[in-house]
Structure 1
Amino acid sequence: MPRFSIIVPCFKVQGFLRECLDSVLEQSYRDIEVIAVDDRSPDGCGAILDEYAARDDRVRVLHLPENAGLGRARNAGMPLAGGDYLFFLDSDDTLTPGALRATADRLDEAGDPDVLVFDYARTYWWGGTRRNALAHVLAEAGEGTFTAAERPEILDLLMVVWNKVYRREFVERNGFSFPPGYYEDTPWTFPVMLSAERIATLDRICVDYRQRRQGNILSTTSRKHFDVHDQYERVFAFVDSRPGLAGWRPYLHRKMGEHCLDILAKPDRLPPSDKGEFFRRTAELFARHKPAGEPVPAELRVLEGGYAAYRAKRKAGQAGRELARRGGQAGRAAGGWLRRGPDAVRGRLPLDPHLVLYSAFSHRGVLGDPGAVYEKAREIAPQLRGVWVVRDEETAARLPAGVEHVTLDSPAYRRVSARAGFFVNNVNWPGALAKRPGSVHIHTHQGTPLKYMAADLLQRPGARHGVDVPQMLRRADRWDWSLVANQHSELVWERAYPCHFTSVRTGSPRNDVLVNAGAQAGLAVRARLGIPAGHTVVLYAPTRREYVRGGYADRLDLARFAADLGDGHTLVVRLHPSLATGPARGMGLADLHRRGVLVDATDEPRVEDVMLASDVLVTDYSALMFDYANLDRPIVVHADDWAAYTASRGAYFDVTADAPGHVSRTYRELAWLLASGGCRDEESARLRAGFRERFCAYDDGRAAERVVRRLLLGEEFPEGAAPPKVPGPAGARDLLAST
């Protein structure tokens, strides 16, 4: 029988689940069982749990037939528990190193108490950590055991289920269980703590309590907060059933009033139209359970008046602060209203459900995924009016004929952005663009992520230099749909962008042209680039480096590389777009292109054309490899500085271990792979096939059609255009923890 049964309910936490499970299974203390409850999660949680169970016999998975909610998912796991103690761990939180060993030692020292309370720290998405402000209560409790009556201050700690372990026999004897609802911890924690005859404390942080930027269910605006009234009714019913606990009624009455008023005071908890009803129901509950003869604390007397009196008191308390704030902003506000007047008027006009606003790569033209969606929409949904946002008239002059466009920040841009029903982009829209209710924002991203992105950059100070992550996330708050080409991307984006959007498994629209490429694809591009007929084209596409000033690292002698390829070969170089206007091309690339030693294709607008024109890809850590794998052509990863790259930028997995082809660590190895034909051998094909299975799972050549039909037209997927099957555990391998 294990010492701990750790029950982990899971629902829509695929971006955090691996980190949670690893924090448990990698503990030095091994005498545990993990009961993971898949609460009918619609994402990849179930597959991740099955994967962990297959490789660690301490993990048992229970797949619920329908979504039950957090409390009832915990209940479902309890009958399977055989440990001495129950430990309920939320699946987006983590154990600290050594937590289980310290907990087990303290239980032994205290002689197996009914409940052991330990400490926690709040860990914030932006990297900050804050310890529980009442940690001193744990230290002051001493080494012995006690009851709540002997140390009532123990109830001042956060009344949640996961900062304690519970003796299983004690729980079963008392019949404790979780009710359905939003505030299910309340009717569990109070009865448990009031019933425990022996409570002990551990003055140690055992749980990192993740403060998700968005996603905490108790921080959302909803009528579900009315559930708190029913949960306190359950608490009072429990106390009524145990005469020995009657003395706790005044305390619980006060706690209930404070808790409900705290919910009411939060600006983002209840819809404004529901606040009056919430106050009235709270006041009724407060009156119904008021202990006879007990005085009402001064701060709760507002519950004995009406909602109007409560609002008046709240407004009076805010008046002074508001006047001071307005005094400092009066001039600025007046000017702002004058400037925003026309936009405010346009913002009241109805949305146009047939108007789609497009942009790509910071308004550089009809490119990437948005470009592919636009072209498909013109083909199958001509009723949609597509308008492109470009950064200047020079960019507009390069647009294909017949493309309607507006220039960023122009009056025309403000008119269409105020009316558009749909927005499609692969980068964030400008911060000044306000998302109107009813408009739909589709974010396509720019490929499959290998390096750390967005919120994960907070762990890499050097890599985020010049990147305003909070602003990036505020802009991402506007997304409704996030397109993904594989399960890896889905996991990364939901973690790196902690925002309220829905991932949609469409594939990458820009890759349709690669998947559907015929034998003659790329010939026209070769001719335009001046590549001799019959030449083998080697595409070299390096990415930028955060550990080098300016981002460009001259990893190869390009002239030597081109010469070593030999006759009948052409070297084509395409730098990362962020390096296109920097000094990198002046370090020899431009001159080599001028002299015909190689072809500089950095300025080619469509990278898909460059890929189609090539026969082999040589890259380091560029996301281009994920797209190129759709062509099923040889790929060589030149990873001579992998350690330095990952130390500075961070990576979600080791591409040298899970590569799309052979990996070279030196120039000599790279040259040999190309000269000997090793890059085309059976091992290369095997590696590429595995890579394609993992990262090209949803790219079937109809991604753009799926986006247009489902997201722009609201249709069901037509026959033959259904989303590809989601890969199982083998196709959803390790997303490395970014901690």
Structure 2
Amino acid sequence: MPRFSIIVPVFKVQGYLHACLDSVLGQSYRDIEVIAVDDRSPDGCGEILDAYAARDDRVRVLHLPENVGLGRARNAGLPHATGDYLFFLDSDDTLTPGALRALADRLEETGDPDVLVFDYARTHWWGGTRRNVLAHVLATEDVFTAAERPEILDLLMVVWNKVYRRDFVEREGFTFPPGYYEDTPWTFPVMLSAERIATLDRICLYYRQRRQGSILSTTSRKHFDVHEQYARVFRFVDARPALAHWRPFLHAKMGEHCLDILSKPDRLPPSDKGEFFRRTAEMFRAHRPEGVRVPAGLRVLEGGYAGYLARRQAGRAGRELGRRARQARGAAAARVARGRSALNLHRPLDADLAVYSAFSHRGVLGDPAAIHRAARELAPHLRNVWVLAGEEQAAGLPPDTEYVLLDSPDYRRVTERATYFVNNVNWPGALVKRPGSVHVHTHQGTPLKYMGADLLGRPGARLGVDVPRMLRRADRWDYSLVANRHSELVWERAFPCHFTSLRTGSPRNDVLVGAGPDDVRAARERLGVPDGDTVVLYAPTRRDYRRGGLVERIDPARFAADLGDDHTLVVRLHPSLADGPARGLGLAELHRRGVVVDATDEPLQDVLLAADVLVTDYSSIMFDYANLDRPIVIHADDWDAFRASRGAYVDITAEAPGHVSRSYRELAWLFDSGTWRDEESARLRSAFRARYCEFDDGRAAERVVRTLMLGEAPSGAARLPSQATSPDLLIPS
């Protein structure tokens, strides 16, 4: 008996069917059966299904003699299911890699619940991917009932984001009705009846958003089916007195759902909207529980259709008045702000005010944070102020860290008077650079991929990037910090502006250069690494040949298993992927189960200190990590595609800091054989460090503060930038 019976109803999806079935049959977890139901599809779907069945004995095809619709096609597959769990997969959707293994593991972990609810992401026809906005509801390890966690019913009420224990479904006699909205009278009864519900906070399914929309977005009288579907739900509850307390909830849900359908311009013919409203209102009155107050947003259903239309018109008029009022207030505030700014811009600069930002105002991070720490120690007279995007970025700051919020009045006051500006990203275009101010740009490490003006020849890589605007903002730079001569040459070519390159080293790497055993021990404890484990840090970068930047080159679960029990795999995503669907595709779940450590949100230098070896593709953190003189492995299985789409200043496969793998098999062999840390690895790393860690001596932040903020002459022969004639300015002594 298989673990999963995957029932796939099929109708007019021949363009998507291969992708759907391949995503199922290609899963590493193979204990499944696929019951594909050809709902008398008029295209080539039947032939496609038969071809798959001929190749894979896990596939069984049912050819229905007539078209019966989605719900009854699912019903046709139910009697043939023999698996422990039922999975209803729509034939234009796909499973994510590793989804079935994750589902099976979670079912075992939670003791075979009645229902397991998992996460999904919408994949749009234009290439975008958006995770379910209510994913946080799934972030629980508990097993519960809907009454104990009613927020589970706020999730999209569909059948395909859950798996169902087959004997539970058979015992309760659940089936799908005909018509539109057939998921409603399945999902509510199932969820309300389930005695044990579990969740999986992992994206297991890609929900395809077609350009022409789903069948529910078409204009048709079939949307009237929603009334009968809710009537079925109410009949189900009426037949089970123990569920009577759910009537107020279902009554409100029904009203909200019907009003939502009515509000959509493309759902109902205009001539049918009045009838739809009247039938909804009748049903709303008929099922209203006694003694329950109707929510304000649904009281319109207690009146007539004319009142509904008038209320909608009044709402639109009110929103328009509100918009105009906000515009007027905003214009008035802008005039006041401009006047105040004009006054401030004529006042002298505050010689003791320094402003910092990092990674688009995400927090006290990177090189600016290192310079800030040095400034507090070496120049205590300075007032140091951070610019943050929002209060959430301030949550973890020490209480004595001063900050302002972007675009707030306080932000404008400090940026209009500050002398020193330190950032690793360009400041907003509205910020005026005043004569006498000092803008220090730290960058975000040594550049491997094309940046700045070099992107002009890479149209795919500069999607959404305004290079001329980027250069105009870079015109405000006074100083560009570099850790090696390679960076100096690249930045002066990529940003043809009027700055001076300072060979200071990277301030953020000072802690790596000066770290001792206690620092390493503390970093490993922070990550929860067991004593004696070898820590393998996997840090992939984003790809420009894929919209959104996410390309999964390595399965972390497989890599962790292949490394063995005496290794800890730490994964750190590129910052641009941290808030997208990447973690939901398995990383968060693997971290929860202790399979890997997700260190994406941890301070970078702490993560680097904890690692015994770095595995990366083309992330610039390899240049930072080289300061530790520990092994580095480059996994370059798509190097040609990466270099063609983005462009690279260095062929990192030819000038690698360690061994290079071109496939996962090669990567696994490097670790299994111990080759990752052999003499050749050390030789390659030594040459790499000599070139790219050239100016990192552990005193970069001090050098910046003493030279640029305190006006001290740097040690050695280097002189202040305004006096310099040598290109070797600020070479470490």
| 1:613 and 2:610 matched | yes
Match of 1:643 in 2: 640
Shift of 1:575: 0.4
Distance 2:401 2:336 in 1: 33
Shift of 1:338: 5.1
Match of 1:653 in 2: 650
Distance 2:716 2:695 in 1: 16
1:554-593 C-alpha deviation (Å, 9 max, x unpaired): 1012111000101210000000000001111111111111
Cα 1:489/1:719, change in 2 over 3 Å: closer
Match of 1:291 in 2: none
- Contact persistence 1:449–1:489 (CA under 8 A): yes
| 1:694 and 2:694 matched | no
- Contact persistence 1:487–1:727 (CA under 8 A): no
Identity percentage of aligned residues: 72
Shift of 1:520: 2.5
Shift of 1:722: 9.8
Match of 1:392 in 2: 390
Shift of 1:339: 4.6
What secondary structure, in the 3-state scheme, does the structure 2 residue paired with 1:521 have? helix
Cα 1:511/1:546, change in 2 over 3 Å: same
1:43-102 C-alpha deviation (Å, 9 max, x unpaired): xxxxxxxxxxxxxxxxxxxxxxxxxxxxxxxxxxxxxxxxxxxxxxxxxxxxxxxxxxxx
Distance 2:673 2:526 in 1: 29
Distance 2:398 2:335 in 1: 39
Match of 1:305 in 2: none
Residue 455 of structure 2 is aligned with which of 454, 457, 470?
Answer: 457
Match of 2:402 in 1: 404
- Contact persistence 1:387–1:403 (CA under 8 A): yes
Match of 1:350 in 2: 348
Shift of 1:727: 12
Cα 1:351/1:670, change in 2 over 3 Å: same
Mapping 1:225-236, distance limit 5 Å? none
Match of 2:376 in 1: 378
Match of 1:624 in 2: 621
Match of 2:663 in 1: 666
- Contact persistence 1:543–1:621 (CA under 8 A): yes
1:636-680 C-alpha deviation (Å, 9 max, x unpaired): 000000000001000001000000000000111111111211111
Match of 2:568 in 1: 570
Distance 1:472 1:349 in 2: 28
Q: Which amino acid aligns with 1:643?
A: D
Distance 1:577 1:423 in 2: 23
Match of 1:504 in 2: 502
What secondary structure, in the 3-state scheme, does the structure 2 residue paired with 1:522 have? helix
Match of 1:360 in 2: 358
Mapping 1:465-484, distance limit 5 Å? 465-484=463-482
Distance 2:718 2:469 in 1: 37
Mapping 1:407-418, distance limit 5 Å? 407-418=405-416
Distance 1:333 1:613 in 2: 52
Residue 680 of structure 2 is aligned with which of 677, 683, 688?
Answer: 683
Match of 1:445 in 2: 443
Distance 2:719 2:607 in 1: 29
What secondary structure, in the 3-state scheme, does the structure 2 residue paired with 1:694 have? helix
Distance 2:585 2:395 in 1: 30
Mapping 1:2-151, distance limit 5 Å? none
Mapping 1:203-214, distance limit 5 Å? none
| 1:486 and 2:484 matched | yes
| 1:495 and 2:490 matched | no
Match of 1:247 in 2: none
Cα 1:722/1:542, change in 2 over 3 Å: farther
Q: Which amino acid aligns with 2:350?
A: D
Unaligned runs of 5+ in 1: 1-331, 732-739
Distance 1:722 1:339 in 2: 40
What secondary structure, in the 3-state scheme, does the structure 1 residue paired with 2:543 have? coil
What secondary structure, in the 3-state scheme, does the structure 2 residue paired with 1:583 have? coil
RMSD: 2.2
Higher mean C-alpha displacement, 504-513 vs 356-365:
356-365
Mapping 1:196-275, distance limit 5 Å? none
Cα 1:710/1:559, change in 2 over 3 Å: same
Q: TM-score, normalised by structure 1?
A: 0.52
Shift of 1:549: 2.2
Shift of 1:718: 3.4
Q: Which amino acid aligns with 1:519?
A: P
Q: Which amino acid aligns with 2:691?
A: R
What stretches of structure 1 move > 3 A for 4+ residues in a row? 332-339, 718-723
Match of 2:581 in 1: 583
Cα 1:612/1:722, change in 2 over 3 Å: farther
Shift of 1:333: 11
Shift of 1:401: 2.5
- Contact persistence 1:702–1:721 (CA under 8 A): no
Cα 1:721/1:455, change in 2 over 3 Å: closer
Shift of 1:398: 1.7
1:358-406 C-alpha deviation (Å, 9 max, x unpaired): 1111111211101000101111111111111111111122212211111
- Contact persistence 1:662–1:679 (CA under 8 A): yes
Q: TM-score, normalised by structure 2?
A: 0.52
Shift of 1:525: 2.6
Distance 1:719 1:471 in 2: 38
What secondary structure, in the 3-state scheme, does the structure 2 residue paired with 1:645 have? helix
Cα 1:699/1:436, change in 2 over 3 Å: same
Mapping 1:307-326, distance limit 5 Å? none
Cα 1:553/1:530, change in 2 over 3 Å: same
Aligned positions, number: 395
Distance 1:721 1:493 in 2: 21
Match of 1:717 in 2: 714
Distance 1:526 1:682 in 2: 26
Distance 1:525 1:699 in 2: 21
Match of 1:703 in 2: 700
Cα 1:557/1:697, change in 2 over 3 Å: same
Distance 2:333 2:386 in 1: 31
Match of 1:519 in 2: 517
Distance 2:596 2:335 in 1: 56
Distance 1:518 1:661 in 2: 23
Q: Which amino acid aligns with 2:605?
A: E
Shift of 1:720: 11
Shift of 1:496: 0.5
Shift of 1:454: 1.0
Cα 1:530/1:461, change in 2 over 3 Å: same
Shift of 1:425: 0.4
- Contact persistence 1:485–1:697 (CA under 8 A): yes
- Contact persistence 1:706–1:721 (CA under 8 A): no
Distance 1:459 1:471 in 2: 16
